Structure 1
């Protein structure tokens, strides 16, 4: 090196030291003034960010009794107060990272200048940050910029301007917080790897304990981790973790916070972490378990639909008390998997239960034969089978409810009106496309739409009430003809509760506004200027949401008042303050008399001759109910929607993929097949009655509401 080069480098280092000190302490002219002004422009904003952006916390979901069933989080963090940090943790951390913590005022000037000289001279990069400065940096990285890689990189870049800003914020913090508050703040935000943040979460995850109970060697291990949590991970790198722990123990001795003999004894001890992996709760709805996971999933979907972002949900530290009745959910789950094995490929059996009411429709249970989880080999799934539009085979004759309600609403027929029930029927309003159909009269269209019944024996005529119980296809297509189009039935379906279903596309998915062929079911099957709609709508061939179908029964049992099927009892924020969730208001969607009379009209399904009578008798059912079974074309899916004044719901069995039928060979023996023999009165009805018998237990039998003469047809 030439002499002049050495002199210039020495002069530069002297200037750098002056700028560093002057830029932090007060504005000056020249280069130091520029550095100081640049820092001043950003320090206040950053200080504001530190105050305004709270650290991510864990959101807890509970059942209706307040028992936690799941946690949702992006960062597993359990905040601790200063008095929860014991001396072992305090002195292990300070000995390892900042032994002069209680002497300096946010910046250790001697260490800072030494590091600045070494780094600028091209030597090894040296750290000089105090705990206060590290608190600032970690808050920026783990909180403010946790989803911004560019911001994270900027928060730890090795530049003078960044160091100046960090130092000034640290000094500012020292004027507003006590030393113990700063230490607790740092220990609440620092990362301990594997989504574990803060000493509260780390103590539990690493040692299944709390911060107050950490031993010296445990504290030394955790204190050593903050330097590089990935490199010193005790499960992946136990040797490096041990070396690092022992180094911290030595520094505690050097700092006169631990006797040398004790340190040597602690070094011989094993790391003592929990076996295999950290002990932390799952970060999503899989933590709710195989039974409650579907309910947790619905809670999440419901809140996202209500306007809460996923980031808010997973970082807000909310306590979400739900309407989940774990006893009811258990009975629903048990009944569903009794009827269809949980590992049966390509077959789902679900039960969704809702509590009727004129102010709220609380979701009580969401169950499936399959377990909620990520192990597909064990039949697990995370698809929202009981609450999403996953039954693409349709609800079958359960949709006759909507045609019936529309006919009654228009005064075309009442529940006791006599209607024709033939063995076949050719529509004079709707087209079908078939050319081989026995004519019962000259069609008005160029194509035939002919339907027949599952049973070859037809009475010729029947009351509408009896037709609902026996479910002849011909009678309801004839009633749909009297409506003139599918419009009134589709509108009634939406009113009574099939809102997400009618808004989904013909495959059950979300409508793609960019695809002209992707249209909602209400439009695809509804009337147009050139067509009265798709006449098979009343036979329920389209994708269906089981929870919404259950809520239809709840609407009828609530005097015609529709309410959104809510899973929420209350939501509070991290400070325990109530959070208002935007939910749709309840609506009187049909006259109360119509709803009550529909309930009476549907009250014979479990009686002799009704499609669910055999299942009801086998369960020993003896309560008044409204009910309607349904079976889709080719027996590929089937449903039973039913309810009592205390509880309503829908059971559905369906193929989860492909076409074809479902074959029933006894309880627990359901499989996919070519030509099926599944019916709504079998697996779905058996599932519903099997659960509801035990759920209602000793509750008194409550009568159905009285009929309204206006809708009886007498």
Structure 2
């Protein structure tokens, strides 16, 4: 060592000694101003952070009965109280980390001076922090600065300034908390690797037990982990974990808390941790399992949309009671998977069920043929198939509901009014009056719309009413009705009002609208794009449902109609409480009268024949022996790339969708339950897989507990023609 270096180190040691003396005197003269005001303010702020910023806890998601279905967390922590720590755990930790814990007042000055001299002279870096100081440091790292790498680095930097600040906070803590409280606080905060924090979670994850029941060797292993949890991980580094456990046992002997013979015996025992990996729950909705995962995901999405951040959700320690009916959800899952195998490439089949009401629309089931999970080879996905705008193929003719509702509202037609059912029809709103299909004559607008029917409707062409058309679904009748409304605007408006709100707010690809995008397909919402001032105004095919949609929102349309025209957000939330059991308000959109009650009730009657002979879902209904009054409407898109069925009883409504997802060429072929696939030319219809899915689930759900109830009666104002 050069003489100059030695001199500087000597001067540094002298200064350090003075600082440490000041630190030791702090409990006596600190209030008189030994430390600077700025330092005191820093300490006070940090102390305030320790008191005011609670540790991350596990959020529990339950079903409607209160049964837990999932846990959401960033740190797996199960808080314990001082009386839940047994003697073995206390003495194992104290012996290895701070043997004078019960003697000092927050700082072990003898150890601090020794470590400081060693560090300053260039010897090995030493810590000498007491458990109280470690509690402070771990709280800063794992709680206050858990998402702040810079703050975490400062909280553990090897500097005299940081040590002194830590020491002052530790001294303050010792004046406010008992030793047992400090020990419990430390054991609630410290990390045990693999997102496991605190002794409560560690006892469960490592040994499937509780802190009160930890044995001496178990306590010794956990006490040894806190020094370096990653390096001493018993599943990855069993030899290091064993050596560290045995060291703790030796320290307990030295501290006269364990007999040497017992320590030697314990050293011969295996580690005894649970096999393979820690026994901790999944940290997200994967833990809800293949059936309930979609519901859990909707809960998360719904609360974030309501204003809660994901960080709050995953650290707040909330209890979220949902509206999930596990039995109904199981029936929905079984029915969806019976129609389309979970591993069937490129085909998704979903069912969303909602309870109608004038004050709430509670979601009771969200199911898909796919399992919720991350293994694609096993038919799993984490895409929110039942709730998100993922059916990019469209709803098909179920959108005729909106044209019908608009016609009733505008007085253009009633449910018993006659409608035209030509074999083909050209929208004259688009073509300036051309009646032929395709149009002839003077040049016409480039986006004229010509439509034909998917089948022979000659049997109903004479004397068809709007009610008949809703049950049999001729395309030409509804495009002509749309023309009588003057544009697609009334239908688009009705779609939003009755329930397709997120759907109509998405762009025509089903994604989020980007106002800065250079293409209207991305910069405009569906409502704007197809509206009077959009890039494709008045496009007559709107009533045929060719644009992306959410199946849950489609199901909520039926719930709105069956609620006397009252729209409510499809909520999955029954109630939320915080970590202390206090209720947490959830900001939800208020219910609103979307359409007059008489209109909704009359529209319900207009939709009541779909399951009857001649109706598009009659075969599916008959196959399960359906015998309840319902509203219903099927839909199929161009090229058979998707199909839907929406319907409901007074007690339960919902929608089923079968659609292409993730690729594949051509349409969807339906050769019966379990044999639905992507093929060259599709033949699926809403009355096939979607209707079979809906009726298959609803038959079992309703027959188990619900009485047969009639639909509401029609309002003469919206009936038109002669009542039948």
Interval of TM-score (by shorter of Structure 1 and Structure 2): over 0.9
Residue equivalent to 2:720? 713
Q: Is the 8 A contact 1:290 1:373 kept in 2?
A: yes
Residue equivalent to 2:672? 666
How far apart are residue 21 of structure 1 and its match?
2.6
How far apart are residue 10 of structure 1 and its match?
3.8
How far apart are residue 429 of structure 1 and its match?
0.6
- Going from structure 1 to structure 2, the CA distance change for 1:585 and 1:633 (only over 3 Å counts) comes to same
Computed over aligned residues only, the root mean square deviation of the Cα atoms, in angstroms, reads: 2.1
Deviations 1:7-42 (A, max 9, x none): 66445323312212304634999xx98975553231
SS in 1 for 2:135: helix
Residue equivalent to 1:134? 134
Q: Distance in 2 between matches of 1:28 and 1:201?
A: 39
- Going from structure 1 to structure 2, the CA distance change for 1:6 and 1:686 (only over 3 Å counts) comes to closer
Residue equivalent to 2:609? 604
TM-score scaled to structure 2, two decimals? 0.95
Query: Is 2:212 the partner of 1:206?
Result: no
Q: Distance in 2 between matches of 1:317 and 1:6?
A: 54
SS in 1 for 2:678: strand
Residue equivalent to 2:461? 460
Residue equivalent to 1:303? 303
Residue equivalent to 2:272? 272
Query: Is 2:561 the partner of 1:560?
Result: no
Residue equivalent to 1:534? 539
Residue equivalent to 2:178? 178
| Within-5 A mapping of 1:577-588 | 577-588=582-593
- Going from structure 1 to structure 2, the CA distance change for 1:530 and 1:153 (only over 3 Å counts) comes to closer
- Going from structure 1 to structure 2, the CA distance change for 1:440 and 1:702 (only over 3 Å counts) comes to farther
Residue equivalent to 1:281? 281
Q: Distance in 2 between matches of 1:452 and 1:11?
A: 96
Deviations 1:50-79 (A, max 9, x none): 011100000000000000000000000000
How far apart are residue 460 of structure 1 and its match?
2.4
Query: Is 2:704 the partner of 1:703?
Result: no
Q: Is the 8 A contact 1:26 1:36 kept in 2?
A: no
Residue equivalent to 1:507? 509
Q: Distance in 1 between matches of 2:635 and 2:155?
A: 61
Q: Is the 8 A contact 2:417 2:466 kept in 1?
A: yes
Q: Distance in 2 between matches of 1:93 and 1:438?
A: 85
Residue equivalent to 1:498? 500
Q: Distance in 1 between matches of 2:547 and 2:5?
A: 83
SS in 2 for 1:543: coil
**Please, which runs of 5 or more residues in structure 1 have no aligned partner?**
none
> After the TM superposition, which parts of structure 1 deviate over 6 Å for at least 4 consecutive aligned residues?
2-5, 32-35, 440-444
How far apart are residue 122 of structure 1 and its match?
1.1
Q: Is the 8 A contact 1:318 1:573 kept in 2?
A: yes
Q: Is the 8 A contact 1:431 1:535 kept in 2?
A: no
Residue equivalent to 1:547? 552
Residue equivalent to 1:385? 385
Residue equivalent to 1:353? 353
Residue equivalent to 1:486? 488
How far apart are residue 230 of structure 1 and its match?
0.7
Residue equivalent to 1:342? 342
- Going from structure 1 to structure 2, the CA distance change for 1:41 and 1:446 (only over 3 Å counts) comes to closer
SS in 2 for 1:474: helix
How far apart are residue 6 of structure 1 and its match?
5.0
Residue equivalent to 1:258? 258
Residue equivalent to 2:619? 614
Q: Is the 8 A contact 1:426 1:440 kept in 2?
A: no
Q: Distance in 2 between matches of 1:529 and 1:113?
A: 76
- Going from structure 1 to structure 2, the CA distance change for 1:384 and 1:447 (only over 3 Å counts) comes to closer
SS in 1 for 2:391: coil
- Going from structure 1 to structure 2, the CA distance change for 1:2 and 1:58 (only over 3 Å counts) comes to closer
Deviations 1:441-469 (A, max 9, x none): 99975664211111134232401000000
Which among 686, 693, 717 is matched to residue 687 of structure 1?
693
Residue equivalent to 1:123? 123
Residue equivalent to 2:472? 470
Q: Distance in 2 between matches of 1:452 and 1:366?
A: 35
- Going from structure 1 to structure 2, the CA distance change for 1:465 and 1:253 (only over 3 Å counts) comes to same
Q: Distance in 2 between matches of 1:35 and 1:159?
A: 17
Q: Is the 8 A contact 1:426 1:441 kept in 2?
A: no
How far apart are residue 160 of structure 1 and its match?
1.1
In the alignment of these two chains, the number of paired residues is: 711
SS in 2 for 1:642: strand
SS in 1 for 2:574: strand
| Within-5 A mapping of 1:14-93 | 14-23=14-23, 25-26=25-26, 36-93=36-93
Residue equivalent to 1:675? 681
Deviations 1:337-395 (A, max 9, x none): 00000100110000000000000000000000000000011110000000000000000
Q: Which moved more, 1:380-389 or 1:690-699?
A: 690-699
How far apart are residue 666 of structure 1 and its match?
1.3
SS in 2 for 1:420: coil
Q: Is the 8 A contact 1:437 1:448 kept in 2?
A: no
Q: Distance in 2 between matches of 1:619 and 1:329?
A: 19
SS in 1 for 2:371: coil
How far apart are residue 286 of structure 1 and its match?
0.3
Q: Is the 8 A contact 2:24 2:109 kept in 1?
A: no
| Within-5 A mapping of 1:316-331 | 316-331=316-331
- Going from structure 1 to structure 2, the CA distance change for 1:565 and 1:46 (only over 3 Å counts) comes to same
SS in 1 for 2:139: helix
Q: Is the 8 A contact 1:206 1:278 kept in 2?
A: yes
Q: Distance in 2 between matches of 1:423 and 1:571?
A: 55
Residue equivalent to 1:426? 426
How far apart are residue 674 of structure 1 and its match?
2.0
How far apart are residue 653 of structure 1 and its match?
0.1
Q: Distance in 1 between matches of 2:719 and 2:343?
A: 46
**Please, which runs of 5 or more residues in structure 2 have no aligned partner?**
none
